[in-house]
Amino acid sequence: MGSLKGKDILHGNQFSKRDVEGIIRIASDFEKELKKKDSLALLKGKILATLFFEPSTRTRLSFETAMQRLGGGVISMASAESSSTAKGETVADTARTVSQYADAIVIRHPRIGSAKEAAEAAPIPVINAGDGAGQHPTQALLDIYTIHKELGSLKNLKVSMVGDLKNGRTVHALVELLSLFQTRLYFVSPSSLRMPEEIVSNLKQKGIEIEETEDFRKAASESALVYMTRIQKERFENLSEYERVKGYYVIDEKFLKELKKKITILHPLPRVDEIRPEVDAYPGAAYFRQVKNGVFVRMALLAMILGKR
């Protein structure tokens, strides 16, 4: 496995199969260690800066939890309004400034390419926690870790990705990692929210089997795992278009009964109406276990980029 020490984490395509397997192994080691004690001293004296220009619950808190579980400290900016960007400061200047205080930066921003801009400016590692409709690589890594835990393997999988595939940065990153394991992919979405053609074309060039469809039931019946995403209201310029497609696909108790097979269900959260609360008790509903796994994976990444693994 190549060392991630000092590296930026920006895009799902930067990882090799060996990298992913190594991250899974280290995350698993941390998960086991945390069953024995509440925290480690691996990153004692190190500081993580979390810069969030878009709302976040799971990503920001799991990164901060991960750093503190490793014995490090956190400084945080939870909104654009609370920073000098409200005065016109650029992302690059913010990154340069914060790098004077911290050893690593996690950034979420509404503009595609913003994390790369921060990484080019900062002399410390930068982790992309979501750049608009672009990428969310650490979510993809925790998704892969969850799939490995839930299904026992990453080989010969059939996966349905459902919902807003056009704007869904989580699925954009995840397909890059799944392609390393030759996963068969079903892209299920309304026609207006299809996976970007560039991503589909790149996957096909890698020899990945893809089926694009609007038939959710058929795709789910052929899959071991369904990855649901919400229709993202904040990505629509035309709200009437959002109203047309919201609630397009829903998993409820009736859907699961009619499926007549067990599936594993993941969701990056937050959900709106695409997974009914009644589904939470379903054995294959893994989305809250998925949330917990984010801490272990982000612990692994922080330890690796700071040279402690």
Is 11 among the residues known to form the active site?
A: no
Report the alpha-carbon distance of residue 72 to residue 182 in Å, rounded.
Answer: 37
Catalytic member of 109, 116, 136, 309 = 136
Report the alpha-carbon distance of residue 94 to residue 296 in Å, rounded.
Answer: 28
Residue type, 32: K
User: How many residues in the chain?
Assistant: 309
Is 229 among the residues known to form the active site?
A: no
Catalytic member of 50, 59, 94, 170 = 59
Is 58 among the residues known to form the active site?
A: yes
Report the alpha-carbon distance of residue 69 to residue 30 in Å, rounded.
Answer: 10
Closest by Cα among 12, 282, 252 to 137: 12
Catalytic member of 35, 36, 87, 260 = 87
Maximal CA-CA distance, the chain: 57
Catalytic member of 108, 109, 172, 230 = 108
- Return the H-helix or E-strand segment holding 211: strand 210-213
Contact call for residues 163 and 189 (beta carbons, < 8 A): yes
Q: Which two tokens stand for residue 93?
A: 């200047």
Report the alpha-carbon distance of residue 81 to residue 126 in Å, rounded.
Answer: 21
Is 217 among the residues known to form the active site?
A: no
Report the alpha-carbon distance of residue 240 to residue 228 in Å, rounded.
Answer: 22
Is 136 among the residues known to form the active site?
A: yes
Residue type, 218: K
Backbone angles phi, psi at 56, to 5 degrees: -160, 140
Q: How far is CA 215 from CA 186, 218, 247, in A?
A: 10, 6, 14
Closest by Cα among 244, 293, 258, 212 to 31: 293
Catalytic member of 58, 194, 235, 246 = 58
Per DSSP bridges, beta strands 104-109 and 73-77 are: unpaired
Catalytic (active-site) positions: 58-59, 87, 108, 136
